[in-house]
Amino acid sequence: MHRIPRLDWFPKQFSQGDIDGQGARRLLGQPNVPLSSVLVRETAQNSWDAKGHDGALSFMINVRRLSAGEHSVLYGNVLTGGLPHLGEAPGAGDSWVLEVADRGTVGLLGPTRSDLARAVGDRTNFIDLIFNIGAPRDVKLSGGTYGFGKTISYVASRLGVVVFWSRCMHQGKLEHRFIASGMGDSFNQDARRFTGRHWWGRTVDQGARVEPLIGQEAQTLGEAVFNRTFRAQETGTSMLILAPKMPEGPQAFAAELSRAAAWHLWPKLVPDRDGRQPMRIEVQLEGERIGPSDPMEHPVLGGMVRALRAVRAVQNGEAAPTSVTVKEIRSQRPNKLIGHLGLTMSSASGLNDEESEDGDDIVSPSHHIAYMRHEAELVVKYHSGVPLGANELQWAGVFKPLLDTDDSFAAAEPPAHDDWIPAAVDDRSMKRDVNIGLKRIAAAADDFVMPHKRAAADHHTESGAALGESLADLVGAAPGSTPRRKSTSGGGAVSKKIARPKIEVAELGPLFGEKRRHAVCISVPGDSTTPQRLDLQLRIATEGSAVDDDGLVRMEGWSDSFPDWDSWVPSGRGGRSCETLGGRRIWAVFSAPADLAVDVRVKTEAEL
């Protein structure tokens, strides 16, 4: 049993050129998204930029209450002075922390002194995160400026105090490092003026500076206050944000963090072409996982996942899935490829506003593009495009710059990394990349959406009304023909007392060979206790009429939800008829030659 060490308090005295703690906090600026979103994105970005070489990277956030023993060590052995200048310590009975941990990163390696010269290429993770404010990362394709991820951590604490425990390689051996840091207002003490920045570690050189606790003492102290310890040969960094700001309580705060992780970190959950997930992410409340869930299962993010996969494929020199449209974003003078925009349509069924709101104005149905950097692949912002105007249909997109233009978009980001602002870029060529890129993205999205928007105007019609024309607008009619507009009667005179099924969405699927898949969403009349038989009528739409399909249109099956085109396997279940219950929606999937306009009608048994 090792004795728990006691740290020294080191407040920073003002010297020429120093910035006070309040000024350091202001450096973050005013983010455009909630604090929880900035906190999640920035801490995850720090972890990503410090990733190791084996590819096994994990990131965990845990909202938890301190035990009596942990509270005693933190406020007795770690924070040994200075608290009166930072705030009132919470009582032992209700003391909460936010524990953030990564594993599979290189940790806070490098020198522990910021006043000594370093060799070119040396990594300085420790001094950049612990001592320096706004130090630029030397990692190619990193997400931004190392210091700002730290600054938001202090802002999230009512005390402005963060505790760090890291395990890294130093001179060929594993080394534990432990230090705490605080950021508050400047103050006077003993006729001297202090900046408001505090550290708790080991003072050296007769109290002139502070260094971290290292080795066994650091490990002992870390294991006494952190929940997630280091296993075997693990390296990484853990930090405790003390007394986190939780105006709605810990449960609501944890839920906010989980939503923020879902909306900002989801690209890290999408496996690469080798099937490896870039980052394992977990948000916990009192050690129990609460999120994030698989983005592919999310009604909005699922479309963005497909778009991201397609953009990745194209930028890797591979073919994109046919269910996603990938557009090149180019400048004309000079003729330069800036990046790629992936766009896809999907069903909006099952989406509600509560699931999708995270301060980014993503509401159902989606009409947004996720901006992200080439390698970092964390969502910078969601750009709102043209809505379709149909509640059952939505579109989503992803834009990524090329490797060669990534630095242009990096230069356009404010300290909070939540936007691309061309005016912030000094270099004219780089500014042009961002300016033209943003304009071309918006134009390409409009070109993609407008044909679907015109078709969406006919979605809420009765049995097949105008659907042949809607599909023709989307697919293109057979050469030399124009599909006629169908009557709204559903074919023939039907009693007004008979409830009719409605085709609410006509969804284009992928091309395969010379054919294209289609899906239609059918709203079934009646209540959930009423059995219904649906009969789908598929015919070829020509000028002035609709003729039998003559085997050209193939029924592929029925589905209770929008089909995932990437994994869809035709079943032919039920042929063109389906037994179901009233008061629900069901999808019918069929395929036809790509240049063919298809007339689609659906009737119930009572209408036949």
Q: What are the tens digits of pLDDT across the range 576-603?
A: 888 888 888 888 888 888 767 777 888 8
Q: Is the pLDDT of residue 481 over 60?
A: no
d(CA 189, CA 212): 24
Q: Is the pLDDT of residue 292 over 80?
A: yes
Q: What is the pLDDT of residues 423-451, one digit of tens each?
A: 999 999 999 999 999 999 999 999 988 87
Could you count the other beta carbons within 10 Å of the beta carbon of residue 510? 16
Could you count the other beta carbons within 10 Å of the beta carbon of residue 110? 18
Backbone angles phi, psi at 326, to 5 degrees: -110, 120
The domain limits of the chain are 8-292, 297-454, 461-607
DSSP string, 91-104: PGGG-EEEEEEEES
* Burial class of residue 194 in the structure, from the number of CB atoms within 10 Å of its CB (0-12 exposed, 13-18 middle, 19+ buried): buried
Q: What is the pLDDT of residues 118-137, one digit of tens each?
A: 777 788 899 988 987 655 54
Pseudo-torsion of CA 264, 265, 270, 273, nearest 10°?
Answer: 110
Cα atoms in the Cβ-side hemisphere of radius 13 Å centred on 496: 0
C-beta of residue 96 within 8 angstroms of C-beta of residue 243:
yes
- Give the least confident one: 349-363, 509-523, 588-602: 349-363
Q: Is the pLDDT of residue 455 over 60?
A: no
pLDDT score of 470: 38
Tell me what the mean pLDDT of segment 384-410 comes to.
89
Within 423-537, residue ranges assigned H as helices are 428-456, 467-475
Name the most confidently modeled range: 137-141, 185-189, 578-582, 603-607. Answer: 185-189
d(CA 118, CA 568): 56
- pLDDT class of 506 with cuts at 50, 70, 90: low
- Give the least confident one: 165-179, 439-453, 569-583: 569-583
Residue whose token pair is 């099956």: 557
Q: Is the pLDDT of residue 148 over 60?
A: no
pTM of the model: 0.75
Residue 508 tokens read as 């284009």
C-beta of residue 389 within 8 angstroms of C-beta of residue 456:
yes
Would you tell me the crossing angle of helices 146-155 and 35-49 to the nearest 10 degrees? 140
DSSP SS3 for 181: strand
Rounded to whole angstroms, what are the CA distances from 133 to 48, 86, 146, 151, 344? 19, 19, 8, 8, 41
Q: Is the pLDDT of residue 96 over 70?
A: yes
pLDDT score of 530: 77
Residue 99, C-beta contacts closer than 8 angstroms, at least 6 positions apart: 60, 61, 62, 64, 226, 227, 228, 238, 239, 240, 241
Q: 77: which DSSP letter?
A: I
Tell me what the mean pLDDT of segment 157-179 comes to.
96
Backbone angles phi, psi at 571, to 5 degrees: -115, -25
d(CA 550, CA 276): 46
Residue whose token pair is 């060529």: 429
Q: Is the pLDDT of residue 563 over 90?
A: no
pLDDT score of 453: 61
d(CA 556, CA 552): 12
Could you count the other beta carbons within 10 Å of the beta carbon of residue 239? 24
Q: Is the pLDDT of residue 107 over 50?
A: yes
| pLDDT mean across residues, the chain | 82
d(CA 574, CA 158): 61
pLDDT score of 459: 43
pLDDT score of 89: 87
pLDDT score of 457: 52
Q: Is the pLDDT of residue 494 over 80?
A: no
pLDDT score of 483: 34
Tell me what the mean pLDDT of segment 109-122 comes to.
83
Q: Is the pLDDT of residue 235 over 60?
A: yes
Tell me what the mean pLDDT of segment 82-96 comes to.
88
Specify which residues 367 forms β-bridges with: 395
pLDDT score of 498: 56
C-beta of residue 178 within 8 angstroms of C-beta of residue 113:
no
- pLDDT class of 267 with cuts at 50, 70, 90: very high
Q: What is the pLDDT of residues 38-67, one digit of tens each?
A: 899 989 998 998 998 776 899 999 999 999
Backbone angles phi, psi at 258, to 5 degrees: -65, -45
Tell me what the mean pLDDT of segment 388-410 comes to.
89
Could you count the other beta carbons within 10 Å of the beta carbon of residue 14? 14
Q: Is the pLDDT of residue 492 over 60?
A: no
d(CA 298, CA 292): 10
Tell me what the mean pLDDT of segment 208-237 comes to.
96
C-beta of residue 175 within 8 angstroms of C-beta of residue 230:
no
Q: Is the pLDDT of residue 350 over 90?
A: no
Could you count the other beta carbons within 10 Å of the beta carbon of residue 13? 13
Q: What is the pLDDT of residues 308-340, one digit of tens each?
A: 999 999 999 999 887 899 999 999 989 999 999
- Give the least confident one: 65-74, 522-531, 539-548: 539-548
Among the listed residues 354, 179, 347, 148, the one whose alpha carbon sits nearest the alpha carbon of residue 262:
354
Q: How many residues does the chain have?
A: 608
- pLDDT class of 22 with cuts at 50, 70, 90: low
Q: Is the pLDDT of residue 372 over 90?
A: yes
